[in-house]
Amino acid sequence: MKGSAPFYLFGTIGLLLPFLEQDYLVAITTICFLSHYLYLSSHRFKFSYIHPFQIYSAVAIIATFSNLQQEWKVINGLSLGGYVYAIPKYFFTASLVWFWGNFFFFWGFESLPKIKFNPIFYNLKRKRQFTFVFLIAFSIIFSSRFYYIPLPGAIGSFFYLIPIFVIFFFARIGYLFNNNQIINYGYFLMIFHTVLGVLYGFLRFEFIISGLVFVIGAYLGSQKLRIFLSFRYLPLFIFGILFILIFDYFGNNRGQMSYGLDRISELRTGAFEEETTLSENSFTPIDRMSVIAQLSNVVDLTARKEKNYTEETMLPIMTAFIPRFLWPEKPKIALGVWFAVEIGQAIRTENWYNTSINMTIPGHLFLAFGWTGVIIGSILSGFILKFIWLSADFKNPNNLLGGMLGGYLFYIAIQGFGADLQFLVTLIAIFLLFLLADFLTPKNENTLHRPIVAR
């Protein structure tokens, strides 16, 4: 593995942290490790190439900084705001779970040995092919809001994410070849997806995801930051400010909000009123990224019952691999809801539960298998992600299938890769769908597989 020295350095520091028993020192060490990895991995490619783990490391740095904020509030006797369910006495162990989970996650990603294999591959060469893909993506965005078609499991997840992949692909290849038509295709899809997300979405993430993937794709294609000084990006900057202003209000009231244009007036009025009557349980976007409250409850669960929750947290993962058409009565897989119910933070609705609390991937591994699970499970997760990333042949900009698969990895990296280990089930299922698409697409002299050596 290239660049092993930082792992040995921070691994040694990590072994000393239990003797210090200071959660803020664990958080600072985690931030230093993630920042060092982000710098070294970027410097390796002279800042001209990024991969999903670099995006994830940036997300994890912000999450850890938010953890540090919550720990600072406890030290100074301040309110934890929306994290009233946090258990400060377990902050230290929770911080260690987060540090070691990320440490071995990155270790696994960087440790996968070099292998030769055929990448997922299908080139777009003709202009009409790009127009056809644009029309498909536009149709899916439109139908997802107005003519929603329920599809089973990973097929549904894959189908309704296709526009996100296409936006990413168009932004990247458009800027790479300075093709304004392709850039405009991606830009239009991004605006259309964002507008419908604001008007009809339930999650705040739906407001910003298409803009984020467009920006990442544009940077990957151009490799220049100055493109963001263009007037094309002015609406994105303005919307980013507005998103911060409405963030807390929408999160607290989305269950009662209307849809369509009426939502705009509600957001304008409600966000203004919320500013003058801000409750102590409010969240800022940075606060929302903290995971220390969830992890402290993970530690509390294992401490109270003095056992691991292997059966409760892993059996649903195992059954997830059984297609629903073979088992129509298969129970709904909702590990986040199970966790929220266990810690008393699930809000009961008429038909189900409403919660945004999750275990995190390191927390799920700790809850299921203890420290051994955090180490081995994190390494294996890193292996799997690296293998799928390499199979995308992402350095080939014309590769539609590989570009979309790479776009999916960037998409889940922005979300911290997932709320729990269920992300691996979805990831593997979608990867299999890409393999099927790769098998079914015709190959000619422009779209032949080429063996590559893993980078």
CA gap 312, 309 in Å, rounded: 5
Helix H or strand E segment including 410 = helix 400-414
- Give the pLDDT confidence score for residue 287 in this predicted structure: 77
pLDDT average, residue stretch 418-424: 87
Residue with token string 């051994």: 372
Residue 298: which pLDDT band, with cuts at 50, 70 and 90?
very high
Strand bridging mode 116-117 / 452-453: antiparallel
Q: 429 — alpha (psi -120 to 50), left (phi > 0) or beta?
A: alpha
Q: 448 — alpha (psi -120 to 50), left (phi > 0) or beta?
A: beta
**pLDDT beyond 60 at 46:** no
**pLDDT beyond 50 at 24:** yes
C-alpha closest to that of 215 among 411, 5, 440? 411
Q: Residues 355, 337: contact at Cβ < 8 Å?
A: yes
Residues pairing with 354 in the sheet: 347
Helices (H) and strands (E) in the chain, counts: 18, 4
- pLDDT tens per residue across span 214-265: 998 998 888 888 899 989 999 999 999 988 888 878 877 777 888 888 888 8
DSSP 8-class letter at 399: B
Q: What are phi and psi of 353, to 5 degrees?
A: -120, 155
- Give the pLDDT confidence score for residue 60 in this predicted structure: 94
Name, in order, each residue with C-beta under 8 angstroms of 281's C-beta and a sequence gap of 6 or more: 81, 82, 84
Residue 447: which pLDDT band, with cuts at 50, 70 and 90?
very low
Residue with token string 């931030």: 31
Average pLDDT, the chain: 83
Greatest mean pLDDT among 36-40, 186-190, 391-395: 186-190
Q: Please report how many Cα atoms fall inside a 13 Å half-sphere around the Cα of residue 48, on the Cβ side.
A: 4
CA gap 50, 222 in Å, rounded: 12
CA gap 252, 66 in Å, rounded: 20
**pLDDT beyond 50 at 163:** yes
Residue with token string 């989970």: 101
